[in-house]
Amino acid sequence: MKKNSLLILCSIFINIHAQESFTLKQAISFALENAYTAKNAKADVVSAKKKVNETTSIGLPQVNAEGNFQNFIDIPTQVIPANAFNPMADPSLLVPVQFGTKYNTSAAITASQLLFDGSYIVGLQAAKTYKELSEKAAAKNENEIKELVTQAYFTVLIAEENLRIIDSSLLNIKKNYSDAQQFNALGFNEEQDVDQLKLTLNNLQNLRNRSHNQVEITYRMLKFQMGYELEKQLKIVDNLNTILAELNAENTLNKELNITQNTDYSLLETQRKLMQLNLKKERFGYLPSLAAFFTHQQSAFRNEFNFFENKPWYPSTIWGLKLKIPIFDSGIKMSKTAQAKIDLEKIETQQKQLEQALKLKAYANQSDFLLAVEKFNNEKENVMLAEKIYNKTLIKYKEGIASSLELTQAHTQWLNAQGNYISSMYELLNAKNQLDKILNN
């Protein structure tokens, strides 16, 4: 038993000291390095860089080596007139002859260099723009991670605050219930008063259990958004009251929307560049392409397999230019060019639509934030009023002026006010989070 107890204590000690503590900024920084989507976005950027290297290499010298070995089991046979060897032979007589050797082998090395190709030039520009697109997609992903982690962090803070309030209420009700039991034993109140408080106590205990479970769920959601192991312990450091105190509504509302800095708009702008390059590529398809090549080959012919002996190999060396001029393709390039032009027009229309949508969303988010601030202030005042009513009702109850039902109603009203206050906190923080996202704060 002593050994088991010691092991349990050691396990608790290790778990407590193994947990990591995070402020909101630290949680976001951790997520930007470890979130699953962040890792994939970084991998996409690296892949895009490799794509640029791949495209660049197409226009650089290409060198290839080739080897060939042939074993003629049956050497090809041809027939020629017999009088080709013997003028006295019958002209109609054909003589079979075999040309070639049993073993043939060759080794060649070929170098080529693209001198001009309009499609390659545009393709290289497109590859670089594609890399830019992946980088902007990664930036958009970072913004989404910040939003999700911030929202999850706030949810944990709200859930813990809600649990703290319920625990405080539960402590008060337990004391009132204990006092009621004692008063009932002395004959100062009715059994119904005790039962009423017991009913409130049970309901509050159930609410507390659900709230405690909600805290566990919100912590797991935060870990998931951060890319943090679900089994490991995590502690949040920031205080809800401090965050609310630092929230400056005036500064937030004074910031204006900068559409060009919006990640969605920036991403679409890069896509528009790709569409422009695609149109340019199709138009460049009408231009000729020019490439240079050089080939050197060594060949050997043997009737015996003795290629490694000091016997002759026969060289062949060639260099040249290859010019390709498109003349007629039955309208394929024209159709592709028209399609590319339509795609470009479509994405320009999407840009205009997104610009208006962002302005509309910014206006809506600012309105939501203003309403959330007003609601928060009202609910904060309501909590103070409900608490004041409850405290007065509690005094009356202890003096025998108010019934347990009135006390329960006052307590429920106060608890509901607290719940509304907690809800308004979440709405305010979420509204601020959404507004910060669209304003790139």
401 phi and psi angles, rounded to 5 deg: -85, -35
3-state secondary structure of 255: coil
Domain parsing of the chain, residue ranges: 11-59+117-288+331-439
DSSP one-letter code for 96: E
**Residue 16 pLDDT:** 44
In the chain, which residues have pLDDT < 50? 1-2, 7-9, 12-17
Alpha helical stretches, state H, 227-331: 240-246, 249-254, 263-284
What is the rounded CA–CA span in Å between residue 193 and residue 183? 10
| Of residues 365, 390, 141, 116, the one with CA closest to residue 252 | 365
Whole-prediction pTM value?
A: 0.78
Alpha-carbon distances of 356 from 103, 255, 362, 429, rounded to whole Å: 76, 18, 10, 25
Kind of pairing, strands 62-71 and 103-116?
antiparallel
Q: What is 11-59+117-288+331-439's CATH number, 3.30.1370.10, 1.20.1600.10, 1.10.3720.10, 3.30.420.40?
A: 1.20.1600.10
- Copy the structure tokens of residue 241: 């009251």
**Residue 309 pLDDT:** 82
What is the rounded CA–CA span in Å between residue 265 and residue 30? 27
DSSP one-letter code for 260: G
**Residue 4 pLDDT:** 52
- Copy the structure tokens of residue 345: 């027009």
Provide the 10 A C-beta neighbour count for residue 163. 18
**Sequence-ordered list of residues with C-beta below 8 angstroms from that of 307, at least 6 positions apart, any chain:** 103, 105, 300
> How many secondary structure helices (H) and strands (E) does the chain include?
10, 8
Provide the 10 A C-beta neighbour count for residue 264. 16
3-state secondary structure of 153: helix
Vertex 10, ends 5 and 12: CA angle to 5°? 95
**Residue 17 pLDDT:** 45
